[in-house]
């Protein structure tokens, strides 16, 4: 074990001795699950990273002066893409694991704990969520940051993403309840100018909103005014709490108003009418499913709307949602969706001569990678191991005790693996997890900050 650790450390030292823009890393001997429809799965292949970009995938590439990473016995796969997570809540993880319904979550978390958050609490929660995402192989995370009480709260959430090195999407929204500065959405102009001036950077910006005014009033609900803000800034929109009859009516209004399209993501999408799904499909809108959230919290039908999305011609992305009640990793989302959809399909055909229409492990891995990137507006950047895309990738150990022997690589990723099997994570070509450990994190200091923030939030009366 020490020999293996020393070998890992030596390779990392070689990589880090070179300036980031001049690095060349050659992964050799891996099973490469590219998630590129034209490249497929490559057995015992090579992958070359130059700077922050994948430049070649194939067999026996030859790397010249590249640092060689022997990935024999491992799977290379794109990093997972989380399309919706309320990252600021991370220090309240599993505080309500058996929450009964949406109202219970809203009143405890959004009407209660959220109202006492300071900027430093926003920073700590978001940083913890992003580091956990990296540890579990999520290289891109959309942070639906809906507790932006002041400019400083927004700045803290964005800085947390910057400090972790994740490919982050900051989706900004004002809070549901309590006192706040009412600086949103006007402050988005400042945020964009300060943090998002370049199109070629790790972080991107989106506007976040709710589907209807039922929970928090009209100021936070998507419509022509917020659509104009997003259009003027040139950013996408992520709309949460899209479920039920009221949201179905809203979707049809948005379609009529011309404010649906590929740059608009509709989150959850449970219990929608067939007319709403038709409008979503015809406009090319994207969908973010939250398999564990829909089922465990019981949002409308409580059934993740994967069949409805596919019937409308939409291949959805996947999301974590709220860690106050749910798991933090993408493996859980893939397995939950895979099992629930197949159960639903077989149950619907039971006792008839119809053949169940079941999704596959390839489908859910596609949702967790390539389709997630498309949902976040990053399809040309990440989501597959395609030459020209950024080097966001995972090395998954296929010969670990719980994975060996490697028989089907996609099945191994989706059904066999978990975060302990991820030995290496690269984001934008930069090592972020190595030999099973997240890099550049003072864990005792982080733990102390997380506990202090949690204690403050739980012991401070709601504002």
Write out pLDDT tens, residues 28-54: 999 999 999 999 999 999 999 999 999
Residues 250/222, Cβ–Cβ less than 8 Å: yes
Longest CA–CA separation in the chain, Å: 64
Same-domain pairing of 92 and 200: yes
Is 447 inside any structural domain? no
Write down the pLDDT at residue 2. 38
Is 294 inside any structural domain? yes
Percentage of the chain beyond pLDDT 70 is 99
Write down the pLDDT at residue 43. 95
Give the chain's domain count. 2
Q: Look at residue 114 and give its three-state secondary structure.
A: helix
425: CATH = 2.30.40.10
Same-domain pairing of 321 and 388: no
Compute the distance between CA of residue 303 and CA of residue 163 in angstroms, rounded to an integer.
36
Write down the pLDDT at residue 121. 98
Residues 293/307, Cβ–Cβ less than 8 Å: no
Same-domain pairing of 403 and 359: no
Same-domain pairing of 331 and 423: no
Residue 125's closest CA among 388, 460, 456? 456
Write down the pLDDT at residue 161. 98
Compute the distance between CA of residue 119 and CA of residue 152 in angstroms, rounded to an integer.
6
Compute the distance between CA of residue 206 and CA of residue 382 in angstroms, rounded to an integer.
17
- Range from 61-70, 72-81, 165-174 carrying the lowest mean pLDDT: 61-70
Is 247 inside any structural domain? yes
pLDDT confidence of 216, banded at 50, 70, 90? confident
Write down the pLDDT at residue 6. 62
Same-domain pairing of 166 and 237: yes
How many CB atoms within 10 Å of residue 1? 5
Percentage of the chain beyond pLDDT 90 is 90
Is 62 inside any structural domain? yes
β-pairing, 204-210 vs 236-243, is: parallel
Same-domain pairing of 22 and 60: yes
Residues 431/134, Cβ–Cβ less than 8 Å: no
Query: Domain range holding 27?
Result: 2-79+379-438
Same-domain pairing of 234 and 357: yes
Is 462 inside any structural domain? no
Domain boundary pick from 375, 391, 423: 375
Structure tokens at 362: 């390839």
Q: How many Cα atoms occupy the beta-carbon half-sphere of 67 within 13 Å? A: 24
Q: Look at residue 406 and give its three-state secondary structure.
A: coil
Domain boundary pick from 355, 375, 395: 375
Is 222 inside any structural domain? yes
323: CATH = 3.20.20.140
Same-domain pairing of 59 and 117: no
Compute the distance between CA of residue 164 and CA of residue 253 in angstroms, rounded to an integer.
39
Is 196 inside any structural domain? yes
End-to-end alpha-carbon separation of the chain, Å? 52
Return the HEC string of 140-158.
EEEEEECCCCCHHHHHHHH
Residue 304 pLDDT > 80:
yes
Same-domain pairing of 235 and 334: yes
Compute the distance between CA of residue 281 and CA of residue 194 in angstroms, rounded to an integer.
35
Is 291 inside any structural domain? yes
Write down the pLDDT at residue 100. 87
Q: Look at residue 125 and give its three-state secondary structure.
A: helix
Residue 283 pLDDT > 90:
yes
Domain boundary pick from 357, 375, 393: 375
Task: Give Rg (Cα) of the chain.
Answer: 22
Tell me what the mean pLDDT of segment 161-165 comes to: 97
Same-domain pairing of 44 and 22: yes
Same-domain pairing of 164 and 280: yes
Residue-by-residue DSSP string for 259-277: --STTEEEEEEET--HHHH
Same-domain pairing of 153 and 227: yes
CA 284, 288, 291, 292: dihedral to nearest 10 degrees? -160
Residues 173/220, Cβ–Cβ less than 8 Å: yes
- Range from 216-220, 256-260, 297-301, 394-398 carrying the lowest mean pLDDT: 216-220
Question: H or E segment at 292?
Answer: helix 291-293
* Full-model pTM: 0.96
């Amino acid at each position: 074990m020490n020999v293996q650790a020393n070998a890992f450390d030596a390779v990392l030292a070689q990589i880090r001795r070179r300036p980031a823009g001049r690095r060349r890393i050659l992964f050799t001997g891996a099973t490469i699950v590219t998630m590129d429809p034209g490249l497929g799965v490559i057995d015992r292949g090579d992958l070359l990273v130059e700077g922050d970009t994948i430049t070649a995938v194939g067999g026996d590439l030859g790397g010249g002066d590249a640092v060689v990473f022997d990935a024999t016995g491992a799977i290379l796969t794109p990093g997972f893409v989380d399309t919706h997570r309320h990252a600021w809540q991370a220090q309240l993880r599993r505080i309500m694991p058996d929450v009964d319904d949406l109202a219970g979550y809203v009143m405890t978390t959004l009407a209660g704990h959220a109202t006492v958050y300071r900027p430093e609490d926003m920073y700590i929660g978001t940083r913890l969520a992003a580091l956990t995402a990296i540890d579990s192989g999520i290289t891109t995370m959309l942070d639906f940051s809906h507790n932006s009480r002041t400019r400083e709260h927004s700045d803290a959430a964005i800085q947390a993403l910057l400090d972790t090195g994740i490919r982050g999407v900051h989706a900004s929204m004002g809070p549901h309840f309590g006192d706040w500065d009412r600086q949103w959405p006007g402050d988005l102009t400042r945020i964009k100018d300060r943090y998002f001036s370049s199109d070629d950077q790790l972080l991107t910006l989106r506007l976040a909103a709710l589907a209807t005014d039922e929970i928090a009033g009209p100021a936070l609900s998507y419509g022509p005014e917020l659509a104009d803000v997003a259009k003027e800034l040139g950013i996408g929109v992520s709309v949460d709490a899209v479920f039920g009859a009221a949201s179905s009516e809203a979707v049809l209004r948005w379609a009529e108003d011309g404010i649906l399209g590929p740059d608009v993501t509709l989150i959850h999408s449970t219990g929608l009418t067939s007319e709403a799904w038709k409008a979503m499909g015809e406009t090319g809108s994207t969908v973010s499913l939250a398999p564990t959230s829909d089922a465990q919290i019981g949002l409308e039908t409580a059934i993740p709307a994967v069949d409805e999305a596919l019937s409308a011609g939409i291949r959805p992305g996947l999301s974590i949602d709220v860690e106050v009640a749910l798991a933090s990793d993408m493996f859980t989302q893939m397995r939950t969706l895979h099992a629930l959809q197949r159960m639903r399909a077989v149950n619907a055909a039971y006792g008839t001569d119809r053949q169940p229409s079941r999704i596959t492990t390839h489908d859910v891995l596609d949702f967790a990678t390539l389709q997630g990137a498309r949902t976040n507006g990053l399809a040309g950047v990440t989501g597959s191991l395609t030459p020209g895309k950024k080097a966001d990738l995972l090395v998954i150990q296929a010969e670990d005790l719980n994975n060996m022997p490697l028989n089907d690589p996609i099945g191994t990723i989706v059904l066999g693996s978990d975060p302990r099997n991820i030995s290496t994570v690269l984001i934008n070509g930069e090592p972020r997890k190595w030999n099973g450990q997240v890099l550049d994190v003072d864990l005792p200091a982080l733990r102390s900050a997380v506990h202090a923030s949690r204690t403050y939030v739980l012991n401070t009366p709601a504002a």
